[in-house]
Amino acid sequence: MARITASVYTSHVPAIGAALDMGKTTEPYWVPLFAGYEPSKQWMKDNTPDVIFLVYNDHATAFSLEMIPTFAIGTAASFTPADEGYGPRPVPQVIGHPELAAHIAQSVIQDDFDLTIVNKMDVDHGLTVPLNLMCGSPGPDDAWPCPVIPFAVNVVQYPVPSGRRCFALGQAIRRAVESYDEPLKVQIWGTGGMSHQLQGPRAGLINREWDNAWLDKLIADPKACSETPHIDYVREAGSEGIELVMWLIARGAMADVAGGAKPTVRHRFYHVPASNTAVGHLILENN
Ligand code: DHB
Ligand code: FE
């Protein structure tokens, strides 16, 4: 049977992608940020999974306001990095895992979560920046270390799903993975956050204290963390801080939530600023 070996959580700031693509990683502004991911890249090399189930949000790239799925699973054989206005990022094509994705869709939908099936989709910085942070910078003709199943969540246009629903969905994804009849090692990643607000009078809002308390709770008491109401994210972590509900999908898929052992915290990192955003990062390993 397939199993979830670990969960990874990270912000997905587009300026990080731009710093990588324009060779700015050694500039003093960026050095501490990339240093925080050095242990993660090593961990990733030592613990390369067979598949990454990557929870992220599309930023009006693949889905415009014409069509807004709440939860969308990418079932295609491959996904092209999107052109977000400056040309596509110079990163590899994302290779999918149609068989496992179709199985997860089947299992999760029968488990009462309504997913949108997406057979063709470009993927934006929400998905590619986390891959760079964890896997380094392979060129456009190279490859990411393993197949990726993109799982897009609407956190852009209200109404967006509650943290509670995301947490329950993570549990359904774990059941789906564990009922797949092949011994695959699967990592689940939650991306976006942490505190940031990109517009209006509060633009630039960063809340270090709230972010870190939320991380503590995500690790120690994920169920309580999942009860965080929307208004708390928006008030405390800024309007785009709502992206954090996606981390609860990954956390819900960990073994302890289903009565298993507590995960081990392999790495934790927090850094301000990256553009207008606080960057949070966590690696949790199942035991
Ligand atoms: C920005 C955009 C994002 O999607 C995000 O998660 C953080 C920052 C930005 O435009 O700076
Ligand atoms: Fe974002």
- Residue 63: what pLDDT? 96
CA distance 18 to 86: 10
The CA–CA distances, whole Å, from 153 to 8, 19, 246 equal: 17, 26, 7
In this structure, how many other beta carbons lie within 10 angstroms of the beta carbon of residue 220? 11
Task: Give the residue whose CA is nearest to atom 8 of ligand 1.
Answer: 13
CATH of domain 3-285: 3.40.830.10
The pLDDT averaged over each successive group of 10 residues in the chain (287 residues) is: 98 97 97 98 98 98 96 98 95 98 98 98 98 97 98 97 98 98 98 97 97 98 98 98 98 98 98 96 98
Length of the chain: 287
CA distance 255 to 260: 5
- Side by side, the strands of the sheet bearing 71-74 are 116-118, 71-74, 148-153, 51-56, 185-191, 3-10, 277-285, 264-274
Q: Ligand 1, residues 12, 157, 247, 281: which to mutate, most atoms within 8 A of Cβ?
A: 12
Cis-peptide into 159, omega within 30 deg: yes
- Closest ligand to 11 CA? 1
C-alpha dihedral sign at 228, 242, 68, 104: negative
Domain ranges in the chain are 3-285
- Residue 6: what pLDDT? 98
Q: How far is the CA of 46 from the centre of ligand 2 (A)?
A: 28
- Residue 101: what pLDDT? 99
Q: How far is the CA of 181 from the centre of ligand 2 (A)?
A: 34
